[in-house]
Chain A
Amino acid sequence: AQKITQTQPGMFVQEKEAVTLDCTYDTSDQSYGLFWYKQPSSGEMIFLIYQGSYDEQNATEGRYSLNFQKARKSANLVISASQLGDSAMYFCAMRSSGSEKLVFGKGTKLTVNP
């Protein structure tokens, strides 16, 4: 069975600083994908970044980067130059190859302080 663990219920960061949100996963599958979603107070889940298990390079999307350490089964999200609008819940998720089911963690609430 797949499992996502996000150990930080809440994180605080000063505006313009970088922050790392932790995510570890458990799976016996060899091929899988890892995702990060942002959920602002409106409730809509917004896709941020994707990392395939066979990708050798860490994924980057603008201010978001994914620190993928396959041997440790971790997929931490790094947000650089935090902005007030980054305040939201952040969810890590995974999906095995051949499955359409996304498994989510419990999320981390990020608060960006001015």
Chain B
Amino acid sequence: GAGVSQTPSNKVTEKGKYVELRCDPISGHTALYWYRQSLGQGPEFLIYFQGTGAADDSGLPNDRFFAVRPEGSVSTLKIQRTERGDSAVYLCASSGTGFTGELFFGEGSRLTVL
């Protein structure tokens, strides 16, 4: 498809487990973003990639969270030793060179940590 694709759409895991969430951005978009949306809140910034490198990771909450984008396209958000507080929808977005720099979001990956 032409939009941002995220997998899995739903992930249920147990506390302490490792989780990977994948994002496939719009073809040709060099900028990629991860946001986290908790229930009843707006999305919160986690990390921004320009190409293969993380240009801004100031939103990652702690060292259990890590993200990669090895070939400048698909990105994976990795969460180690998951905690119940990590339960949220993880949104991925990409952007091109449009005037406003608006972001194009995927439908998100809903993570539930039991």
Contacts and interface: CB of A to CB of B under 8 A. Distances in A.
Contacts, number: 61
B42 A104 contact: yes
Looking at chain A's contact residues, is the secondary structure mostly helix, strand, loop, or mixed? strand
B42 A107 contact: yes
A42 interface: yes
B93 A45 contact: yes
A35 B48 contact: no
Contacts of A105: 42
A44 B108 contact: yes
B103 to A, nearest CB: 7
A50 B42 contact: no
Nearest to B31: A100
Contacts of B89: 43
Interface in A82-105: 91, 93, 95, 99-105
B41 interface: yes
Contact of A44 (B33, B40, B45, B106): B106
A104 B106 CA distance: 17
A102 B100 contact: no
Interface of B: 3, 31, 33, 35, 40-45, 48, 50, 55-56, 58-59, 89, 91, 93, 100-108, 110
